[in-house]
Structure 1
Amino acid sequence: MIAYLRGAYTELTPTAVLVECAGVGYSVAISLTTYTALSGQKEGKILITEIIREDAHLLYGFATAAEQDLFRHLMTVSGVGPNTARIILSSYPPHELTSIITLGQIEPLKAIKGIGLKTAQRILVDLRGKLPALEEDASPATTIPTTTSRGKKVQPLDTTTPQEAVSALKMLGYPEASAQKVVRELIASDPTISVEELIKQSLKLL
C-alpha cells in the first residue's frame, strides 16, 4: 500500500496532480483544499489513500493528515463514496468541516451538491464524536462560504480561470453546459474571483 509520494509535481489542476517519482508518474486525485496547498510548489510530499476496485486502482492525495483523516471518516458513511468525499473536502477546508460536524450544522452540508438531507444527517450522526484530534481546534463555522467572494483576498482573474474551473467541475462529474453557466454568472458578479473560490462557489450552485 502506498502511504505517500515524494517527488516533482509535473502537472497540477484543481482536481489532480501528477507526481513523478523515480521516473514514474502517478496521477493522484485531489481536493480543492490540497490544490490550494500545492499551488506554487514544484515538488514535495503528498499523503496517499488508495482505492482499489476490480476495474480501477485510484490514488487520492492530501496535503495534510487532517484532510486525509476526514476523507477516511467520510468514506465510512453510507452513501458517501470517494468522489463525494472529495467534493465535500473541496467545499470546506478541514478545520471548517470539522466545526460543521462537531456542532451538528446540517445546512452547510445540505448546501453541497449531491448531499441531501438523509446523507447530511448520516454524516452528522456517524461522525460526531469520532474526530477527537480535529475537534480540539473546532470552533463555530461562522465563515461558511456564500455565493460570492466579495470582501475576500483573491487573485485577479486571468484568461485561464474560467476554463480551469469548468474543467475541474467536469472532472467532478458535473455537466459541462451547467458548469459553464454557473462559472459565467459567478465571474459576472465578481470579476476578481480566484479559481479556487470560483470552484467552491460553483459547487454550492450546481
Structure 2
Amino acid sequence: MIAYIEGKLTHKDPTYIIVDVQGVGYQIRISLHTYSQVKDLERTKVHTFLHIKEDAHTLFGFAELLEKEMFLHLTSISGIGPGTALVMLSSLNPKEVRDAIVSEDVKVIQAVKGIGLKTAQRVILELKDKMKKDYLLSSSDSKQNFSIPHNSIRSEALTALITLGFTKSIAEKNIDLILKNSSNPLTLEDLIKQALKMS
C-alpha cells in the first residue's frame, strides 16, 4: 500500500495532480478540497489510497489525513465507490460531510451528484456513531478571490465537471448560469462547487 507520496507538483488540475518523485510521475485523483490546498504549491505531500480493479490501478490523494479517513469511511458504504466519494468531498469539505451525517441531514448528502435517497440514508445510518466520536475534523477553508477571466475559468471548470461525470451539455448549462448570475469574481473551486450543487 502506498501511504503517501511527496515530491514536485508538475501538473495541477481540479480533478488530478501529477507528482514527480525522483523522475517518476504519479497521476493522483483528488477532490476540489485538496486542489484548493495544493494549487499554489511547487512541492507537496499527499496521503494516498490505491484503488485496484481488474482493469485499472487508480491513486487517490488527499492534502489532509482526515480527508483520506473520511474518503475511506464513505467508500465502506455499499453503493458509494471512490468516484462518488470524491464528488462528495468536492461538493462538501470533510467537516461539512461529518456535520451533515451527525445532524442526520439527508438533504445535504442527497444533493451530491450520484447519491440517491436510500444511499444518503445508509451513509447516515452506518457512519453516524463513528462521526459523533470523531471531533478532530476541522475545515481549513481559506477562500481567496482571484479575478480570473471567465473564459479561462469556464474552460477549466467544464473539464473538471466532465471528469466528475457530468455530460458536456449539462456542465456548460450550469456553468454559464452561475457565471451569468454572479456579481462577484469566482474562484475555480467556487464555480465547480456551485455547479455540483445544481446537479
Q: TM tier, shorter chain?
A: over 0.9
* Partner residue, 1:114: 114
Shift of 1:137: 5.9
2:68 counterpart letter in structure 1: Q
- The answer as to whether partners of 1:102 and 1:135 remain within 8 angstroms in 2 is no
Amino acid across the alignment from 1:179: A
Worse overlay, 92-101 or 52-61? 92-101
User: Separation in 2 of the partners of 1:138 and 1:57?
Assistant: 30
1:97 CA drift (Å) = 1.1
TM-score of the aligned structures, taking structure 1 as reference length: 0.89
Pairs within 5 Å for 1:118-197? 118-131=118-131, 134-135=134-135, 154-158=145-149, 159-190=151-182, 192-197=185-190
How many equivalent pairs are there?
194
Secondary structure at 2:129 match in 1: coil
Q: Contact 1:100–1:106 at 8 Å: present in 2 too?
A: yes
Aligned-residue offset at 1:193: 1.5
User: How far does residue 168 in structure 1 lie from its aligned partner after superposition?
Assistant: 0.2
Residue by residue over 1:152-193, the C-alpha shift from the partner in whole angstroms, topping out at 9 and shown as x without a partner, is 863223231000000000111111111011100100111511
CA drift at 1:138: 7.7
> Aligned partners of 1:138, 1:48: CA distance in 2, in Å?
19
What SS does the aligned partner of 2:9 have? strand
Specify whether residues 103 and 138 from structure 1 end up closer, same or farther in structure 2 by C-alpha distance, changes over 3 A only: farther
Counterpart of 1:47 in structure 2: which amino acid? H
- CA apart distance, 1:131: 2.9
For the Cα contact (< 8 Å) 1:156–1:194, is it kept in 2?
yes
Q: 1:37 to 1:136 in 2, by over 3 A?
A: closer
Q: Is 1:200 the equivalent of 2:193?
A: yes
State the alpha-carbon separation in 2 of the partners of residues 136 and 48 from structure 1.
Answer: 19
Which residues of structure 2 form unaligned runs of 5+?
none
User: Please, which moves more after superposition, 85-94 or 110-119?
Assistant: 110-119
Aligned residue type for 2:92? Y
State the one-letter code of the partner of 2:83: N
| Structure 1: gaps spanning 5 or more residues | 140-151
Whether 1:15 and 2:15 are equivalent positions in the alignment is yes
1:132, CA displacement in angstroms? 5.5
Residues 66 and 137, structure 2, Cα contact 8 Å, conserved in 1: no
Instruction: Give the TM-score taking structure 2 as reference length.
Output: 0.92
